[in-house]
Amino acid sequence: MRILRNFVGGEFSGKGVPFPVHDPVTGRAVAECLEADAGLVDEAVQAARRAAPGWAALPVAERAAWMRRLADGIERRFDDLVAAEIADTGKFVTQTRTLDIPRGAANLRSFAEIAAQLPGESFQTSIPGGERALSYTVRKPYGVVAVVVPWNLPFLLMTWKVAPALVAGNTVVVKPSEDTPSTATLLAEITAEIGLPEGVFNVVHGFGPGSAGEFLVAHRGVDAVTFTGETRTGAAIMKSVADRVKPVSFELGGKNAGLIFADADLDAAVAGTARSVFTNGGQVCLCTERLYVERPIFAEFTARLAEHARGLRFGRPEDEDTTMMPMISAEHRDKVLSYYRIAREEGAVVHAGGGVPAFGDDRDGGYYVEPTVLSGLPRDSRICREEVFGPICHITPFDTEDEAIAWANDSEYGLAATVWTQSLDRAHRVAPKLEAGLVWVNTWYLRDLRTPFGGVKLSGIGREGGVRSLDFYSEPSTITIRLG
């Protein structure tokens, strides 16, 4: 059985109490991971602090070159990373090979390019009386950044945070999810293979409260925290760092809305909405759980989306025609199934799914649920208000544009939204009115890594992506020189 160790100061440590890592496909333990205690977390933070001055002193171009070497190392270990991601998450191979691992390398290269070309600011000032000055800004890294990574897109989101943090001149301590520790451990191996300076990249394994996660974010040697995950955890982190007023960047939960107007290309809207509901088993913060469909096409759209849900294939991860994956854990599967029960109790019409698939093989021990399409519930029902984070959506008919906008905005969350219409006027009119950090029109999950990413309300604080990431991972300092 694989042993996943902590990585501190450029070396793997044998310290820690082992805990099992389970295969979501079968439920079997496939690895053991060593949980870091407070002492080991302290060692990791101290290693990062020792490395920070030398790393920050490197020219930006040299740090960017290290990011490109790391991306090259990812591509050399591509198959190993694919296998590790599948073992931890149960993702199917086509998604892992075309999205998760390639995006990791792309994140590193993208931020290397952005940082190398980032301009500074300068201003000439004339003051009444003849005094003149030149003011300019320099960017300074925070020092040590705690990178707390979720389980749904573990490699993609880890590199999305590590790349800008490192290229900006910080050192990092990564705490991956206890459910998906393998690719972070492999990335640590790759940093050692390419000779990245010791202490620049560190990994500590464990859980949240009372474990490595809490020890890390509360550590006085950590200068900033970046976290992607559920809103309650983000709130707990904010409380733990409040006394030190540490900068935080949070990408949190979502209850995302999709608006489908009667003039939409129905084929495209059904296919695109199916992607936005069921991709990654619905376990993406950007997935759509609330659908508002204009009444003339409500019945046809609902029937076609349900048909698509029933056609998703629960194959093995290594099968290239597999299109549905399990939930990440038994705990999360049970949470999703509890919402399926709540929906039935509240009187939902179940158009597809609502249960657990049966296989007659070892997958019956895994964490699968059926992709589910519902309608008929009031907008204040729990299914329409609370984030499920599974392959489920509820569809509500609407009659007017204003009604659709109001209902979409009637949520405590505000991460993403989709609009399906063939009217350019409507697209430009509706999209800016939606209370969401990202709005897609006639598409979903189409990302330019240079654009800002993040949510409003309970969906997060701050923005990541392009220059916005570098704005978080570094602070501007203004220098003013008197000229005469």
On the question of pLDDT at 196 being above 90, the answer is: yes
The confidence score (pLDDT) of residue 99 equals 96
φ/ψ (deg, to 5) at 400: -130, 160
Q: Given pLDDT bands bounded at 50, 70 and 90, which one contains residue 131?
A: confident
On the question of pLDDT at 198 being above 80, the answer is: yes
CATH architecture of 2-252+459-482: 3-Layer(aba) Sandwich (3.40)
Q: Is 113 a catalytic residue?
A: no
Q: Given pLDDT bands bounded at 50, 70 and 90, which one contains residue 129?
A: confident
Which member of 85, 214, 251, 294 is catalytic?
251
Q: Beta-carbon neighbour count of residue 93 at 10 Å?
A: 18
> What's the mean pLDDT in 129-142?
91
Q: What is the pTM assigned to this prediction?
A: 0.96
Alpha-carbon distance 83 to 85, whole Å?
A: 6
The confidence score (pLDDT) of residue 125 equals 86
Q: Is 475 a catalytic residue?
A: no
Q: Given pLDDT bands bounded at 50, 70 and 90, which one contains residue 387?
A: very high
> What's the mean pLDDT in 192-210?
98
Q: In the sheet where 288-294 sits, what is the strand order?
A: 349-352, 372-375, 392-398, 288-294, 256-260, 416-420, 438-441
**At the topology level of CATH, where does 256-448 sit?**
Aldehyde Dehydrogenase; Chain A, domain 2 (3.40.309)
Alpha-carbon distance 15 to 158, whole Å?
A: 23
Which member of 43, 85, 214, 285 is catalytic?
285
Alpha-carbon distance 168 to 300, whole Å?
A: 51
Q: Give CATH 3.40.605.10 domain extents, the chain.
A: 2-252+459-482
Q: Give CATH 3.40.309.10 domain extents, the chain.
A: 256-448
pLDDT tens column, 299-337: 999 999 999 999 999 999 999 999 999 999 999 999 999
